[in-house]
Amino acid sequence: MIRWIRQQLGFDPPHQSDTRTVYIANKFPQHGHYIPQRFADNRIISSKYTIWNFIPKNLFEQFRRIANFYFLIIFLVQLMIDTPTSPITSGLPLFFVITVTAIKQGYEDWLRHKADNEVNGAPVFVVRSGSLVQTRSKNIRVGDIVRVAKDETFPADLVLLSSDRAEGTCHITTASLDGETNLKTHYAVPETAVSQSVSRLESLQAVVECQQPEADLYRYHSQSDHRNPPHTVRSENLLLRGARLKNTKEIFGVAVYTGMESKMALNYKCKSQKRSAVEKSMNTFLIIYLGILLFEAILSTILKYAWQAENKWDEPFYNQKTDQERNSSQILKFISDFLAFLVLYNFIIPISLYVTVELQKFLGSFFIGWDLDLYHEESDQKAQVNTSDLNEELGQVEYVFTDKTGTLTENEMQFRECSINGIKYQEINGKLTYVFVCVYTFQNGEEELFLKAVSLCHTVQISYDQTDGPGDPFSHANGFSPQMEYYASSPDEKALVEATKSCLSARRYKLLHVLEFDANRRRMSKGLRTLVVACRHFSADEYQEVDRRLHEARTALQQREERLVEVFNFIEKDLELLGATGVEDKLQDKVQETIESLRLAGIKVWVLTGDKHETAVSVSLSCGHFHRTMNILELVQQKSDRECAEQLRRLARRYNTLLVQGPPVQRVVTQDHVIQHGLVVDGASLSLALREHEKLFMEVCKNCSAVLCCRMAPLQKAKVSHLTPCPITLAIGDGANDVSMIQEAHVGIGIMGKEGRQAVRNSDYAIARFKFLAKLLLVHGHFYYIRIATLVQYFFYKNVCFITPQFLYQFFCLFSQQTLYDSVYLTLYNICFTSLPILVYSLFEQLVHPHVLQSKPALYRDISKNSLLSFKTFLYWTFLGFCHAFVFFFGSYILMGEDTTLMGNGQVSVSPASLPSSLLFSYSRSCVSVAGLLLC
């Protein structure tokens, strides 16, 4: 805190220059004038409050709410002026609401503190004083040499100094950062790669000069000064916090970015406060009721002065005014009376509405986690609620934006078929099959060369769970075993190598006869991820030249990437086509049924994927996102704004033409498959469309029942989910590259898949499989919305019923600001007398059986567009409240009849002190009793 204050005042600027100098092992210069730079510690902070700022910060946030701020003003008015009710009537409910809300928010923040402490307190090993010392993650400093073992995550951004591998390489996965499950190879700085012992690392005298922290995960440039000349350090030498070490026993790295300055922390986007449509409606209704309150207070004040201006209304004997009161300013007196009426009627605003709603959401959210239908037995995962503020929003979704790989599919690549020399082969039971010959031995070498290329040209690493003692590390090379694990730079490579290793496990390649077909005319199966395999033959001299150029490019200190690209372009030309492979990423269970249910519920589904056009369309067709009879519109391969705009206009005209020229039945039945349209757009065309033609693009999209966006970057996914701010949107994905999309949508759902937990941690809800989305929306969303809509309308209704008799009573007491109700009733009516019944109702009410809601998705449309909280419905409840208030008041008045304790001149036959306890108390008790019977 002190450091932050000093930075704000300019005494302690966080960075003095555009670069930072990191002394390895914190060996600072011992001669000359040296001022060490100050860096952030290695703590990760995701919590919102601290012990010191919780009370002021939480109070500030709570009083930003209209109802809380209003009751605070009323409470202060009651303290300042003489009002007909005690300040306790407003202060006690306000204190109760603020306290309950603070406890709930404090508990949620305590959970965030607990998660932070687990990360910050994780044990790590650092090299200090010539030995390995165990410490906590939060104690790592910039310049520390850190040891990381296999399967551990990197506690900070490290420059790789050395590994247990002789070549100084290591393999990592970055699923928690960018959602990629593939294996990446990183290299140690050449000058330090041989320093594989603690003693040698301790003796290092080196400096890393790098740029200040930035969010780009793939950009890093620095220099390490180790016995001149300096070596250029690039992104392949940097290990990012959150990544995991794989297939490498241990590595040593120097920390260059720590804590909130690490690239992972800089890429973390703070979740914006999402507000549901119900909360927005509540705020609108509160403003309307505030207007009603002001109208009643102003009218009562005017009528008081109008009636008391007549001489016949003399001051009663028991309320004679002093000379000072008679001679006081009329303006101040008018304002004082107005404030008194405002306090008298202020209970028309339901102070306990917010706390009851929050309590209902918090308790109701447990039903999602308890639902066994949302439990996935194979992975032992149940549904998870990260925020309970959006429960009712699940019943208002109009658009679903979904990722494809890992969300609609299993993200488990399996080799299915290949094409060699124009002939198609399929994989069945671990062997390649094709037509014509039962047992076939390769004669021309084409098939053998193809399989060798697939088997050898890859980045797959094999890891063995070795036991202590001698053993052959290649004992499982000819087959698969539980001890062998494959790591690859892409899931496609892993599937191909597993398949070819299986097919090549026999000494003689065999192809089995299954069926006959014209292979030259038959294309690869649709929906497969395809990869073309080609080769180029080099002579010995050519190979030596290529090897020399590659070595020079890889060891270049300047423009390394450009020189490598140049060499690769030289190698990859004049290639000879060998064939193509087809890998399947199969659909998850019941994806097609889920998408169909969402469509019948009136929800439009958009698929956003990074896959190529053909694969994405095939998967959309196979999962039911696109129907075979659907008219497919395309916006792909657009090169300029002008070309894109013209294509959009053609699509709009085509849609209108088809709709006008279609048969009458098609024009009426708009949900029929024949009239439906699907749109396919790629990332490049989408960028052009959103640049200057967003309105035209959205017009085309709104006319389509399904939209498929392919070749999408993560930021484009977020931009698409932000295109429709008015309809309620839901984004669902499983990878870290889906986080921005999840956070931009009104409701974000993470899939507990194989791409890390980043999407789950940043989502509002998390489920194990896409199929659970149907029940989450159609059942839980339906229940949540109806329950909370009824709760909100009821709260406003019951307060109208309660306080309107107070207003009517003023006509019978000459607007003397006499209260109708006892202070106990005013204090406890909202927080005790009427909150529990509606809370129980809003937790357990089921108007329709869950099985009916799932079997009839069209029922979801009945509650769409916030229909139960529309202005028309709100007016109905308000009108009903006023009608019942008249019944309560005049019903009680008639039941009591003429009270004989009052004489004609206003005097009573009993002691004046008995007036409030005899008449007003009994009358208010009658009103409250009647109201309570009817409301409950």
Kindly list the catalytic residues: 403
Q: Which long-range contacts (CB under 8 A, 24 or more apart) does 717-723 make?
A: 717/401, 717/403, 717/608, 717/741, 718/743, 718/744, 719/690, 719/744, 720/401, 720/606, 720/608, 720/686, 721/401, 721/745, 723/690, 723/694, 723/698
Amino acid residing at 610: G
Alpha carbon distance 648, 699 (integer Å): 9
Does 304 appear as a known binding residue? no
Does 737 appear as a known binding residue? yes
Alpha carbon distance 66, 285 (integer Å): 11
Q: Which long-range contacts (CB under 8 A, 24 or more apart) does 588-592 make?
A: 588/407, 588/408, 588/409, 588/410, 588/769, 588/770, 588/771, 589/769, 589/771, 590/771, 591/408, 591/623, 591/624, 591/770, 591/771, 592/622, 592/623, 592/624
Does 611 appear as a known binding residue? yes
Does 717 appear as a known binding residue? yes
For the chain, percent helix, then strand, then coil, each to nearest 5? 45, 20, 35
What is the SS3 assignment for 13-69? CCCCCCEEEEEHHHCCCCCCCCCCCCCCCCCCCCCCCCCCCHHHHHHHHHCCCHHHH
Does 529 appear as a known binding residue? yes
Does 862 appear as a known binding residue? no
Enter the tokens of residue 703.
């006319």
Alpha carbon distance 28, 478 (integer Å): 53
Residues facing residue 419 across a β-bridge: 424, 580
Amino acid residing at 899: D
The CA–CA distances, whole Å, from 523 to 415, 424, 582 equal 16, 8, 11
Does 738 appear as a known binding residue? yes
Four-CA torsion 891, 896, 897, 899, nearest 10 degrees: -150
Query: 3-class DSSP state for residue 751?
Result: strand
Alpha carbon distance 461, 793 (integer Å): 62
Does 403 appear as a known binding residue? yes
The CA–CA distances, whole Å, from 870 to 356, 772, 778, 867, 932 equal 21, 29, 21, 5, 27
Does 682 appear as a known binding residue? no
Does 82 appear as a known binding residue? no
Does 417 appear as a known binding residue? no
Q: Which long-range contacts (CB under 8 A, 24 or more apart) does 870-878 make?
A: 873/793, 874/281, 874/285, 874/288, 874/793, 874/796, 877/793, 877/794, 877/796, 877/797, 878/796, 878/797, 878/800
Residues 6+ apart with CB under 8 A from 186: 160, 169, 170, 171, 172, 236, 237, 238, 239
- Give the number of other CB atoms < 10 A from CB of residue 494: 24
Does 267 appear as a known binding residue? no
What is the total residue count of the chain? 936
The CA–CA distances, whole Å, from 555 to 190, 232, 288, 564 equal 9, 10, 72, 10
Alpha carbon distance 430, 486 (integer Å): 17
Does 48 appear as a known binding residue? no
Does 404 appear as a known binding residue? yes
Alpha carbon distance 508, 443 (integer Å): 12
H runs (alpha helix) in 81-174: 88-120
Q: Which residues are annotated as a binding site?
A: 403-405, 493, 517, 529, 609-611, 711, 717, 734, 737-738
Residues comprising the binding site for ATP? 403-405, 493, 517, 529, 609-611, 711, 717, 737-738
* Known binding residues for Mg(2+): 403, 405, 734, 738
